[in-house]
A and B are shown apart, each in its own frame.
Chain A
Amino acid sequence: MFRTSDVVLITVMLAAAAFTYKTKHDAEAKYEELRKIERQAELEEDSIDILKADWSLLTQPARLQRLAETYKDELGLEPVEAPRIAEFSDLPKKPLTIEGLVNDMADAGSVPDQTTTGAVRP
């Protein structure tokens, strides 16, 4: 009836058909997934735009000024005046004295440095 080669060929054909079908089906599923992700990304992008606009709305100087004025007393807020602005270089140097140096060295020696960094094993 059927020769072995026929059986083999039919099996191969069926397998190929099944494989093709599965591949196409999978591809469609992936496309669907892709579309979903694209929609999601688009939505997120739009949300980011809105949130950015929202953020700049909330950080408008006009709004911050209004808030600062409202909570001025409560929080003890005051505008910075020019005489309060200085750099480190503007500060007078601390005069060097023997006692001061000795104390500094003693302080540095008595307490081990507690700072840990990622570079060195504590």
Chain B
Amino acid sequence: MDDAASSAVRRGAATIVMDGAGKARGGRAQNRVVMAMAVMFGIYAALGGRLVHLAMQEEPEASVPAARVTASRPDLVDRNGEVLATDIKTASLFAEPRRIVDIDEAIEKLSTVLPDLNYQQTYRRLDSDAGFVWLRRQLSPRQQADILALGVPGLGFRTEKRRFYPGGATASHILGLVNIDNKGIAGIEKFVDDQGLADLQATGLAVEGHLEPVKLSVDLRVQHIIRDELVQALERYKAIAAGAVVLKANTGEVVGMASVPDYDPNNPVNALDKDRLNRMSAGVFEMGSTFKIFTTAMALDSGLVSLDDSFDATRPIRIGGFTINDFHGKRRVLSVPEIFIYSSNIGTAKMADVVGIEGHRAFLDKIGLLGRMSTELPEVAHPTEPKEWKKINSITISYGHGVATTPLQTAMAAAAMLNGGKLIPPTFLPRSEVEANEIAEQVISPNTSAQMRYLFRLNSEKGSGRRAEVDGYYVGGKTGTAEKVVDGRYSNSVRFNAFIAGFPADDPEYVVLVFVDEPKPEREGIGATAGLNAAPMVRNIIRRSAPLLGVKPEFGQESDALLVSQQ
């Protein structure tokens, strides 16, 4: 019992001891295991977390840095959809020398795409410590793709947008210019910006692909013909400038307009030269005898003068120390049509006199010749007129001296004289006849307009406009040879010649105005009047462009029919 008890006690004690020792040792070991496990678990958790983190992350984009943001612009197209101005994307190649592994290999690969790469220069650039060097500007997309395909590390592209004008100088004054940030600074480009494109760009909404092309009323082919003729004329007549516009008579759409000298919008180094301004809308000139169109229309429309009336042009008018004379005076009584076709200053002055000074000014104001013309182009000059209209002013203005207007404005007024009396502001955007009639202002009666058509046609058949005649297109026109003011006096050797024509004259679809500034005689012995230089230019423009404009030629018409029909 004692033995059993003691052994039980011993056993119990041993158990207890063993338990205690085991517990004591096991407790410490367990702590270590837990700690080791915690550390291991921590490491694996970190690794796992990192893996998850990496897996969650998007793949980094290709290492092309963000492109320089240049504003997107809509294409400009002509009335037939031909491109006049477009944005092209060019890529510029740069390198990050620090990231290039093998310079020799990089250059060798690059020169397979860019054969004219200068090896030594490029090596020097890539060998430097710089973080960024330009290698080549303005690559084509094809070259860019080829270089990307080479897989050389450390090369990248920045894309830039550039405005490109395929026609070069052809329509320069209409299209205008953009600056280095692709913002319009002149012409239609500026107009497009002012229409809200600038705001769109500022808010980042002008994303490529969202911009519809802007369609203009211009016909590229006619535009080219006009400019081609002007450039030739400038050379032929050694003039300092020339300009022309073809206007749709019933809508006021400008089909073509040019003024030379001009500039190349792709390289506008000389665009801001004073000599190269857009004389058609931003230059003002005394239009000379072409103004007799308006004086005659005014007299006829007032009802005080009819086509059958006659005025005495025997003697010059003397007023306030001035003498108003005719260049090729007939020295006899002239009927109204004769005054028009012989371009008599005396007769025209007397017609203006019938209407009176106030009426004269009011009429010119009504047909938009004294106010600033409203059109899309930002470059529009304000016409000049005398501060106070006296009788002498009215007389000289009747034949085109004393009021200086822009040629485009004059063409607009002339169109109103021919299209039935509707004054329609010229536009460079397409406009339908219905829209035109909504904004048109009736300035003379349709009957007066018909009489003016007759006079125009008569002048082309018998008067100074004979050299503008084109077979089949039935041109009617009026010359204007103005003397320019040199040192405060009118000079009789320095001239500004103009010709205004409408065709076909029985119901003009198009109005053409051409001017030549300071033309010299084409050859010795002949003059340099508008009939000899401006009229042939109009003829050439009409001859070349009328078939393109779809004007159907007609033969065998008599101008007498015009007169009969309107009387």
Contacts and interface: CB of A to CB of B under 8 A. Distances in A.
A57 B166 contact: yes
A65 to B, nearest CB: 7
A82 B471 contact: yes
A62 B141 contact: no
Nearest to B77: A56
Contact of B86 (A49, A60, A61): A49
Contact of B142 (A47, A60, A61, A81): A47
Is chain A's interface secondary structure helix, strand, loop, or mixed overall?
helix
A53 B166 contact: yes
A83 interface: yes
Interface in B130-160: 140-142, 144-145
Nearest to A85: B553
Interface size class of A (residues with CB under 8 A): 20 to 34
A95 interface: no
Given A53-B166, A57-B166, A61-B220, A81 B471 contact: yes
B547 A62 contact: no
- The CB with the most chain B CB atoms within 10 A, among A47, A49, A52, A83, is that of A49
Interface in B87-123: 87-89
A45 to B, nearest CB: 8
B473 A47 contact: no
A70 interface: no
B140 A50 contact: yes
A56 to B, nearest CB: 4
Contact of A83 (B170, B224, B553): B553
B211 to A, nearest CB: 12
A56 B142 contact: no
B493 to A, nearest CB: 34
Given A60-B224, A82-B471, A85-B547, A47 B141 contact: yes
Interface in A63-100: 65, 79-83, 85, 87
A43 B470 CA distance: 50
Contacts of B83: 52-53, 56
Contacts of B224: 60-62, 65
B228 interface: yes
Interface in B463-510: 470-473
Interface of B is mostly: mixed
Contacts of A52: 83, 86
Contacts of B140: 50
Interface string B524-546: 00000000000000000001101
Nearest to B208: A45
B268 interface: no
B65 to A, nearest CB: 16
Contact of A62 (B86, B142, B167): B167
A111 to B, nearest CB: 37
Interface string A25-62: 00010000000000000010111011011001101111
B245 to A, nearest CB: 17
Chain A CB within 10 Å, residue with most, of B82, B141, B553: B141
Contacts of A56: 82-83, 86, 166-167
Contact of B555 (A50, A61, A83): A83
Contact of B547 (A60, A82, A87): A82
B221 interface: yes
B544 A61 contact: no
Interface centre among B87, B88, B166, by most chain A C-beta atoms within 10 angstroms, is: B166
Nearest to B221: A61
Contact of A85 (B88, B220, B225, B552): B552
Interface string B378-395: 000000000000000000
A84 to B, nearest CB: 9
B473 A82 contact: yes
Nearest to B84: A56
B164 interface: yes
Interface string B217-236: 00011001100100000000
Given A53-B86, A82-B472, A82-B553, A61 B225 contact: yes
B544 to A, nearest CB: 7
Contacts of A50: 88-89, 140-141
Given A53-B88, A53-B166, A59 B546 contact: no
Given A56-B166, A80-B547, A46 B228 contact: no
Interface string B21-59: 000000000000000000000000000000000000001
B127 to A, nearest CB: 31
A20 B51 CA distance: 16
Contacts of B167: 56, 60, 62
Given A43-B141, A62-B167, A82-B472, A49 B88 contact: yes
Interface of B: 59, 82-83, 86-89, 140-142, 144-145, 164, 166-168, 170, 209, 220-221, 224-225, 228, 470-473, 543-544, 546-547, 552-553, 555
Interface of A: 28, 43, 45-47, 49-50, 52-53, 56-57, 59-62, 65, 79-83, 85, 87
Q: Which 8 A-B pairs have the closest CB atoms?
A: A82-B472, A61-B224, A82-B553, A56-B166, A56-B83, A57-B166, A46-B141, A46-B89
14 contacts: A43-B145, A50-B88, A50-B140, A52-B86, A56-B82, A56-B167, A59-B82, A60-B166, A60-B167, A60-B170, A62-B167, A65-B224, A82-B547, A85-B547
